[in-house]
Amino acid sequence: MESRREEAGPQGLASALVEAGALTTDWLSAFASVPRELFVPDRIWPGITDGTRQGALVSRVDDPGAWRAAVYSDIPLTTQWDDGAHRGDGLGTTPSSSSSMPRMVCAMLADLDVAGMRAGGRVLEVGTGTGWNAGRLAHRLGGGNVVSVEYDAGVARTAVGNLRRAGLSPAVVVGDGRLGCGTGAPYSRIVATCSVREVPGEWLVQAEDGAVIVAPWGTGYGGEAIVRLRVEGGVASGPFSRSSAFMRLRQHRAARPPFAAYLKGRRWPADGERRTTALSPADTGSWIAQFAIGLRVPGIFWRAERYEGGAYTLWLYADDTASWATADHVPRGGGEFEVVQSGARRLWDEVEDAFGWWDRHGRPGFERFGLTVEASRTGRAEQHAWLDDPARSWPVGRLGPHG
């Protein structure tokens, strides 16, 4: 452990990122000149393994070696919980700001292809966070060509301080990231360091023809991936490239109804109708399976009620509280699983149908899916998903097409 701490540093992280193919040679200078440690606070909660779990607090004051080792590891670092309300040493309820996983943000910068921008083109970043990503963009393009929008005023102030200490001066604007920043438009590139459930129409309005948008995009049901869109004639379209797990844009966080709103004071199974299924609830739980289901099934979410011995019940809920379903998973059981469904919609049937569609197409990965976005007269963008062929798209969250 001590030897790892001694080796921790920007060169070791850069070598690992280059070897992984995330850090490209044209970004090496910015990476070296804008070290991550200048943008990380004294108190952090490092991610564990794949970044989907949170580790305990690491304090630079109490353990500088562990802090530096975390900073120069390829992991996300949570820097704020519960929109700043959390002040303790333990884990908060909801992580709300971070220094993102270096491998992911470096790959996104490569996707952005700033080398292909027109001379004098500008970049809009949504989600300033600690300012590290905006700093690298400013180092490469010049501060006057980078605008970064951050919703949390306190986070923005800290980021500005970090950037100034690094000798960098991109424009940092406090505002709603969905609205972009009209005063800096048009933009040649737009990048989001928070995930969205829909690409805002204002981004398309503020993007010039030929612009590139790179953003983590996730469904309401679950699953998330990086999408790279090219804007032509007010329409943005492009493929997904890789799995991701970013914090949601605050205005895109889901407001879930309380579970009590579904059974309405009755005991399960209430008025639910029973059936059995050959589809294991566990098969629907992978990140890509959730993504595929969410592309085709509208307005539902899930939770797992777990029991001793590894058994659990998968609960499905409709956003309007009018329908629910359960599917029991019993390890080492037979090939059938019990399902109970209630309400106007048969939610398990819908999930089963969407999973079956994905399965029949060979369980495609994220890279075979794509997204097409077009701004509507209402100002809200219309989103269509596609598999392999943009010409065969369907509205996101609709039950179709089949085949």
Catalytic residues: 100
- Greatest CA separation for the chain: 65
CB atoms within 10 A of CB 7: 11
Strand arrangement, sheet containing 337-343: 273-277, 337-343, 323-329, 312-318, 300-306
Q: Are strands 381-387 and 369-375 parallel, antiparallel or unpaired?
A: antiparallel
Burial 119-157 (b: 16+ CB within 10 A, else e): eebbbbbbbbbbbbbbbbbbbbbebebbbbbbbbeebbe
How far, in Å, CA of 21 to CA of 323, rounded? 45
Give 72's contacts (C-beta < 8 A, 6+ positions apart).
8, 9, 10, 12, 13, 36, 37
- The CA-atom distances, in angstroms, between 31 and each of 35, 96, 136, 138 are 6, 25, 7, 11
